[in-house]
């Protein structure tokens, strides 16, 4: 069971401040997200110009458990219509676009690592498949996060959802991720755009011995053309073994306006009638 967090804060923590600085540097983005193990139990909310929504375990005393979060700029926050904390590894956020018939759904994920039990992986991907499949086919789905999945540079059998720009060799997690993309018609952005390898890898091992491409940004095959590029930003100071992964999409968000309640108007002219006034006073 996931716990919903969207709290007001006055002073962002040092890590959040660094993420905000990184978002300023890569100013083409309207939202930024992360998926990590919770080390200290802190959860951020709204700062004076940005908002953070997150999903984590219900248990306040849980240590080293998963958490996913999305940090938004003002334009994205105004376009946000709803968000759901699915569990500690998956959350979704829905945004208005300039096309009133089409909404944008961002699904933020933190997949299990490669050497955990198959049952844990199955639960995660079953939940992820369900969340994508319940979204209307006319809407845009952006799937992103740390999937701990190496997709490799070959697309044999997966030509519909990826090209040959991936890095390394596909592992078990990569196969499960690609099967999910096939089932949900999602294109893997990191396999589409030709960049230098240094701009594709998203994780570095301790000692900087190995670089891997395990975080991904993907979107609906129907809206493939709105995704302009996916690459890592190596200049971001996020104090993590993961590099900042950037995806640029050409779409317009629209401010979400809630329906206003109509105020009931009273005809006060009746109070000028003495009999009506007396009757009203007797009732009160």
Residue 56 lies in a domain: no
* Whole-angstrom Cα Rg for the chain: 23
CA distance 191 to 247: 13
- 181 inside domain: yes
Q: For position 182, which CATH number holds?
A: 3.60.10.10
Q: Is residue 45 part of a domain?
A: no
pLDDT at 52: 85
Q: For the chain, what is the domain count?
A: 1
Identify the bridge partners of residue 35 per DSSP, sorted by sequence position: 68
Does 12 fall in a domain? no
- Say what the pTM is: 0.78
The answer to whether the CB of 69 falls within 8 A of the CB of 54 is: yes
Measured CA to CA, the distance from residue 16 to residue 56 in angstroms comes to 17
Residues of the chain where predicted confidence (pLDDT) is lower than 50: 1, 6-13, 26-29, 37-44, 48-49
Residue range 156-206, pLDDT digits in tens: 999 999 999 999 999 999 999 999 999 999 999 999 999 999 999 999 888
Q: Which of 139, 83, 95, 23 is nearest to 252 (CA)?
A: 95
Close Cβ partners of 203 (under 8 Å, ≥ 6 residues apart): 211, 212, 213, 214, 215, 241, 242, 243
| 4-30 pLDDT, tens digit each | 554 333 333 455 555 555 555 544 445
Provide the 8-state DSSP code for 106. E
Phi, psi angles (nearest 5°) of residue 56: -145, -175
Q: Is residue 55 part of a domain?
A: no
pLDDT for position 31: 60
């Amino acid at each position: 069971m996931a716990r919903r967090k969207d709290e007001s804060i006055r002073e962002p923590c040092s890590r959040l401040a660094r993420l905000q600085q990184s978002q300023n540097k890569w100013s083409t983005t309207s939202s930024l997200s992360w998926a990590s193990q919770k080390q200290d139990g802190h959860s951020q909310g709204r700062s004076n110009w940005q908002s953070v929504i997150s999903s984590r375990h219900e248990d306040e005393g849980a240590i080293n458990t998963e958490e996913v979060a999305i940090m938004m700029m003002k334009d994205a926050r105004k376009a946000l219509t709803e968000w759901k904390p699915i569990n500690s590894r998956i959350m979704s956020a829905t945004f208005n676009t300039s096309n009133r018939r089409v909404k944008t759904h961002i699904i933020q994920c933190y997949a299990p690592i490669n050497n955990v039990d198959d049952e844990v992986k199955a639960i995660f991907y079953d939940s992820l498949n369900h969340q994508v499949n319940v979204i209307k086919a006319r809407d845009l789905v952006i799937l992103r996060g740390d999937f701990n999945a190496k997709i490799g540079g070959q697309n044999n059998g997966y030509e519909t959802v990826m090209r040959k720009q991936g890095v390394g060799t596909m592992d078990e997690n990569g196969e499960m991720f690609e099967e999910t993309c096939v089932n949900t018609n999602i294109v893997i952005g990191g396999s589409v755009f030709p960049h230098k390898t240094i701009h594709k890898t998203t994780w570095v091992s301790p000692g900087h011995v190995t670089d891997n491409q395990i975080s991904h940004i993907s979107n609906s095959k129907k809206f493939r053309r709105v995704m302009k590029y996916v690459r890592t930003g190596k200049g971001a100071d996020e104090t993590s073994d993961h590099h900042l992964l950037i995806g640029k999409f050409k779409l317009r968000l629209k401010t979400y306006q809630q329906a206003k309640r109509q105020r009931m108007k009273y005809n006060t002219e009746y109070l000028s009638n003495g009999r009506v006034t007396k009757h009203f006073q007797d009732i009160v």
